[in-house]
Amino acid sequence: MGSFSELVMSFPLRADVGPDVLASFASIAVPDPDAPPLPPPNREDPVADDWDLDDPERDRSGPWSHDWGALLGASSTTAYIGSDQGATMRWRRRRWVVTSRATWKSAPEDFLPSLAVLGTVIDVSAGRGYEPYHQADGVMTGFFVGYARHEREPRPWLLWADGQRLVAENLNPPGFFLL
């Protein structure tokens, strides 16, 4: 049957992102009369277009030509990790904020490297972040984005943005994975 992971994120987009980035999230935009106009959304089916985040061989060039909104809102199931799932982009405090909660049939270490590019569009100055702190494993904390949690791991992976990339901090003991 496979195993599942829950992905929960919320992050503001930088004010200077281009129309290509906005189009990649426009499919999940909630209409707001105070919001600036958005470009038309990128329309694609991430599954049909074979844009598989688990595939390390997948070409990641041109990430903003994809429909990130549909991808971040797509869920494989609610049977293992029950929760309200989906994704939205809302106009809040003069910026776009993307929020996602999804269950994917994958382990965090398989899909999180493919999400690293999101760090380039996250506005890390938008809220109170944590002081940058380098840990022994090289993870630098900063702006807290969310977490990924595998159904068989006791602790989540924390997701941090530093203005250039999205990084994951695995809170599980080294080599821990329940089969």
How much is the average pLDDT of 154-176? Answer: 86
Helix (H, G, I), strand (E, B) or coil at 99: strand
Inside any domain, residue 133: yes
Q: Which residue has the higher pLDDT, 61 or 129?
A: 61
Hey, what amino acid is at 27?
S
Smallest CA-to-CA distance from 5 within 121, 174, 122, 153 is with: 153
Instruction: Give 69-114 pLDDT, tens digit per residue.
Output: 888 888 776 555 556 778 999 999 899 999 999 888 888 888 888 8
Whether 129 shows a pLDDT value over 80: the answer reads no
**Are the beta carbons of 99 and 9 closer than 8 angstroms?**
yes
Inside any domain, residue 128: yes
Whether 140 shows a pLDDT value over 60: the answer reads no
The whole-chain average pLDDT of the chain stands at 80
Q: Which residue has the higher pLDDT, 145 or 57?
A: 145
Hey, what amino acid is at 93?
R
Inside any domain, residue 154: yes
Inside any domain, residue 178: no
How many domains is the chain partitioned into structurally? 1
Percent of residues, the chain, with pLDDT higher than 90:
35
**Are the beta carbons of 96 and 22 closer than 8 angstroms?**
yes
- Could you tell me where the DSSP H helices lie in the chain? 19-25, 68-73, 108-111
Whether 138 shows a pLDDT value over 70: the answer reads no
Inside any domain, residue 165: yes
Inside any domain, residue 177: no
Inside any domain, residue 176: no
Sign of the torsion angle spanned by Cα atoms 4, 108, 152, 141: negative
Domain range for 48: 5-170
Instruction: Give 42-81 pLDDT, tens digit per residue.
Output: 876 554 444 555 555 555 567 888 889 888 888 776 555 5
